[in-house]
Chain A
Amino acid sequence: MSVFVDKDTRLLVQGITGRDGSFHAKQMIEYGTNVVAGVTPGKGGQTFEGSVPVFNTVEEAVKATGANTSVIYVPPPFAADAMMEAAASGVKLVVCITEGVPVIDMLRVRPYVIAQGARLVGPNCPGLITPGQAKVGIIPGRICTPGHVGVVSRSGTLTYEVVYHLTRAGLGQSTCVGIGGDPINGTGFIDALEAFENDPETKVVAMMGEIGGTDEQDAAAFIKERMTKPVVGFIAGQTAPPGRRMGHAGAIISGSSGTAAEKIEAFEKAGMGVARRPIDFVDLVRERLA
């Protein structure tokens, strides 16, 4: 078991002939992910790497191949449409790697994807990996190893850093979920935590947050009230200076609650382990697995 992606994932790559899309499609195939189709409008009928059929539309691709998950590598101006197209075509999990999607676009994409009954991860995220089964996105496969630690994070390379330490210490992962840091995204901390709580393979969760917003505090409240599995947390940005804030709206809506100190306090109150450094995850996770 695992969450969101596994050996039954039938992956479609939107933007498969582009620079990033083709590079990462190859990496995902090499990792053993079942990549069943690619989509690039105007390039339908071609074959990618001699084995993956390319279609003009997601609808055609899903009909022909039974794809159930899509990963998106299209440029920002087209990303909103690509997410909606995937959801409209019956794909159940839509993962958008693209960075720089305007937030105004996401205000309509998010409700649309939810209304189609699909799950969205991202945008501006590294994607997901269930070690040994499927890699959907850009998380480097060789730093991961199968195991019982669920990983969820707002950041990309910081996730790699933590996973790298875990793997070196022999602490494998059930699934790593990079939710991305954009203000309007699909899957949040709580969605991922709930999935880990329900996943028999996951025994402990490692969570990496950042300063800004109240997502981590909300997650801490969820952990306290609803989770039986232990969670270890980290907040990046403890030394970040307070930004020069324009206007009052940000302060009114979040009070003082964007700071690392406040988030760490919320973690502690929820009974979570708090990693001060990325490497601290190793001991904190190991204690909770024992």
Chain B
Amino acid sequence: MNIHEYQAKDVLRRYGVPIPPGEVATTPEQAEAIARRIGKPVMVKAQVHVGGRGKAGGVKYCPTPEAAREKAEAILGMDIKGLTVEKVLVTDAAEIGTEAYVGIIIDRATKKPVFMVSAAGGIDIEEVAATTPEKIKYHPVDAVYGLQPFEAQQLGFFLYQDAKQARAAAKIMQQLYKAFAENGCSLAEINPLVTTPEGEVIALDAKMSIDDNELERRADLEALRDESSEAPSEVEARKANLTFIKLDGNVGCVVNGAGLAMATMDLVKYYGGEPANFLDIGGSSNPEKVVNALRIITADENVKAILFNIFGGITRTDDVANGIVTATKQNPLKVPIVIRLTGTNEEIAVKILEEHGFVALTDMDEAVKKAVELATQSQGAEGGK
């Protein structure tokens, strides 16, 4: 789960990371009031869960409180890569000497948290990584011991020649690492970490992603969730314990297991169709999950055919069959459905489906081909109207 910049900054402040004062606003008037309180020029920054805010015009310098109100008015409600800006952070516009990058991520390759630091920070850091990788220092941390002071110091001196700045940066690295480890993060990033004209080292922007598995046991972190920044259908799916990602195609897919779900989408494409979504009903499915899945899928008007692909292991295919029957009784389908199921309790499932007038297929390729065909037909029929 991604959290907003202002939330990440709140977390990091608790660990002692120096961060300029700032507050979040949802209206232009609030933004103006905050700017007045800060009493200096401010930055007004869109709070959305996506990179490239600055380049999209979502970050503005405001010399006066009036300017803060104006810019907040422009930014609030703005669409950035499909997300509507609901909140802005109004923060002290620090003067910048140098910009460095500091990030920690869980690295699949080394199976460790890895620090990445670079003196060439700022918005073009990915470009730096691609063209001049030697400007980035990678440092895997032994999580059993945590980041040791000498390691933090090595990283600090990689960034700054000035000993005072290097030590200040080292301290920030340790604070950042502690925040990362104690809050179950999969990512924690300060970009840029800047030096001020007075020689101080401070964090101007921060990002954090929390491991979804951590949220179960950490109500304080779950409370940071901002549902307004997620697609409504994805919020509904999460509440129903389904994993759902909306796409642009017309074949609605309901599958058990992420790998098989992706392979199913790939096969839809292989046979000339376009998947309308990724939807994983997960392992131990009950009929209720299937009912929810169908409701979410049929809410998408682009969907012209529905494809079930279920390989029963833990998932009982008769549960899925019962779910389909229940769901379609409640809300009769307006689009054709193709059902493929095989595995646990397949015979019972086929019987249930046939009793209710559904056809059950056992072959994945055959089912996908049929679903693509039906979706194309009904799309064509509509186009002809």
Contacts and interface: CB of A to CB of B under 8 A. Distances in A.
B283 A158 contact: no
A178 to B, nearest CB: 10
Contacts of A139: 313
Interface string A233-276: 01011111100111111111101000000000000000000001
A214 B109 CA distance: 7
B217 A158 contact: no
A158 B307 CA distance: 16
B88 to A, nearest CB: 18
A138 B217 CA distance: 26
Contacts of B313: 126, 138-140, 156-157, 160
Given A20-B284, A253-B116, A156 B211 contact: no
Interface in A119-168: 126, 138-140, 143, 153-161, 164
Interface string B343-384: 110000000000000000000110000000000000000000
Given A158-B259, A240-B262, A108 B51 contact: no
A276 B255 CA distance: 19
Given A161-B260, A236-B266, A184 B365 contact: no
Nearest to A234: B263
A83 interface: no
Contact of B278 (A213, A240, A247): A240
A243 to B, nearest CB: 9
A248 B125 contact: yes
Interface range, B side: 35 or more
B238 interface: no
B51 A245 contact: yes
Interface in B183-212: 184, 186-187, 189, 191, 207, 209, 211
Contact of A107 (B108, B112, B255): B112
B108 A252 contact: no
B49 A246 contact: yes
A278 B211 contact: no
A208 B259 contact: yes
A6 interface: no
Contacts, number: 189
A238 to B, nearest CB: 5
Given A102-B211, A240-B278, A161 B187 contact: no
B40 interface: no
Nearest to A100: B213
Nearest to A160: B311
Contacts of A238: 262, 266, 269
A98 B100 CA distance: 40
Contacts of A170: none
Given A103-B186, A213-B109, A253 B211 contact: no
Contacts of A159: 259
A237 B262 contact: yes
Contact of A276 (B2, B81, B257, B270): B270
Nearest to B312: A140
A181 to B, nearest CB: 7
Contact of A161 (B275, B284, B311): B311
Nearest to A212: B108
Contacts of B136: 252
Interface in B244-279: 245, 247, 255-260, 262-263, 265-270, 275, 278
B314 interface: yes
B380 to A, nearest CB: 22
Contact of B270 (A101, A208, A247, A277): A277
Contacts of A154: 259
Given A104-B211, A237-B266, A246-B207, A140 B343 contact: yes
B18 to A, nearest CB: 20
Contact of B116 (A164, A184, A245, A249): A249
B365 A279 contact: yes
A110 B262 contact: no
A214 to B, nearest CB: 6
B326 to A, nearest CB: 23
Contacts of A111: 142, 144
A207 to B, nearest CB: 12
Query: Looking at B125, B207, B260, which has the most chain A CB atoms within 10 Å of its CB?
Result: B260
Interface of B: 2, 49-51, 81, 101, 103-109, 111-114, 116, 125-126, 129-130, 136, 138, 142-144, 181, 184, 186-187, 189, 191, 207, 209, 211, 213-214, 216-217, 245, 247, 255-260, 262-263, 265-270, 275, 278, 283-284, 311-315, 342-344, 364-365
30 contacts: A99-B283, A100-B216, A102-B217, A104-B181, A104-B211, A107-B112, A138-B313, A138-B314, A140-B313, A153-B259, A161-B263, A161-B311, A183-B186, A184-B108, A210-B258, A218-B109, A236-B262, A236-B263, A236-B266, A237-B266, A239-B269, A240-B278, A241-B245, A246-B50, A248-B101, A248-B191, A249-B103, A251-B126, A252-B126, A253-B107
Interface of A: 20, 76-77, 99-104, 107-108, 110-112, 126, 138-140, 143, 153-161, 164, 181, 183-184, 208, 210-211, 213-215, 218, 234, 236-241, 244-253, 255, 276-279
CB-CB nearest 6 A-B residue pairs: A155-B259, A157-B257, A158-B259, A107-B143, A249-B103, A236-B262
Given A111-B144, A158-B257, 10 more contacts: A108-B144, A139-B313, A156-B257, A157-B311, A184-B108, A246-B50, A246-B51, A248-B51, A250-B187, A252-B126
